[in-house]
């Protein structure tokens, strides 16, 4: 069921990205934004590299956050994290009550994904979760020569496209995702240097 709401310029968006695959426990970071302008908070969790716990960990991170009641949209950078740890976006939407938008820079190559999954346990289940994210939709950003693609749960695609465009203030990637990526990368690099 899709949620109907009007988009305010300061809509609260949680962008989630993961760190580099340099260990078995992969850091995920949530950047909580007002629109595409202001960072209001950061949250973190860990998932298992190529595991099956991404959905549970993200649900836990979101629902235990002090920002939970304010989050209007969850944005994900792709539908798999930590390698091939798939996120069930339908369940994520259902258990949090928050619409989910998945952003991709290109259309996923399903044949390549299937080949990669055959080397992992629960390959069929992983593939079903990836496919359950639904139709891939092209959305034109401010840079019309560089479109992005989305999938969504709990929100109409036209509204999801509007939110992506509105929050992409410094390029074609929404600020919540861009900043989540920067923080995750910086945190994991800092940890790596500290252990050297």
Residue 171 forms part of a structural domain: yes
Check which CATH number belongs to the domain holding 16 and give it: 3.30.2170.10
pLDDT in tens, 97-122: 999 999 999 999 999 999 999 999 99
Q: What is the model's pLDDT at position 143?
A: 65
Residue 3 lies inside a defined structural domain of this protein: no
The dihedral over CA atoms of 100, 107, 115, 132, expressed in degrees to the nearest 10, equals: 30
The set of residues, in sequence order, having a beta carbon less than 8 Å from that of 97 and lying 6+ positions away, is: none
What does DSSP say about strands 73-77 and 38-48: parallel, antiparallel, or unpaired?
unpaired
How many folded domains does the chain comprise? 1
Residue 124 domain-assigned (yes or no): yes
Pure H helices in 1-131: 54-63, 89-96, 110-117, 123-131
Report if residue 7 sits inside a domain.
Answer: no
Note down the domain range covering 95.
12-190
Parts of the chain with a pLDDT under 50:
1, 3, 193-196
* 53-83 pLDDT per residue, tens: 999 999 999 999 999 999 999 999 999 999 9
The pLDDT of residue 23 is 80
Query: Does residue 169 lie in a domain region?
Result: yes
* Whole-angstrom distance, CA of residue 168 vs CA of residue 175: 6
């Amino acid at each position: 069921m899709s949620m109907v709401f009007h988009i305010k310029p300061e809509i609260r968006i949680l962008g989630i990205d993961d760190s580099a695959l340099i260990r078995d426990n992969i850091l995920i970071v949530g950047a909580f934004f007002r629109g595409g302008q202001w960072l209001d908070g950061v949250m973190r969790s860990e998932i298992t590299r190529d595991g099956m716990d991404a959905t549970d960990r993200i649900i836990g991170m979101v629902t235990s956050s002090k920002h939970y009641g304010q989050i209007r949209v969850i944005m994900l950078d792709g539908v798999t994290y930590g390698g091939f740890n798939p996120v069930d976006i339908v369940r994520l939407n259902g258990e949090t009550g928050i619409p989910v938008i998945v952003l991709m820079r290109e259309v996923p190559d399903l044949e390549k994904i299937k080949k990669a999954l055959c080397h992992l346990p629960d390959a069929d289940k992983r593939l079903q979760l990836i496919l359950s994210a639904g139709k891939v939709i092209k959305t034109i950003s401010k840079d019309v020569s560089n479109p992005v693609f989305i999938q969504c749960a709990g929100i109409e695609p036209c509204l999801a496209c509007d939110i992506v465009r509105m929050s992409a203030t410094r390029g074609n990637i929404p600020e919540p995702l861009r900043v989540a990526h920067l923080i995750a990368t910086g945190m994991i690099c800092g940890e790596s240097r500290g252990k050297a």
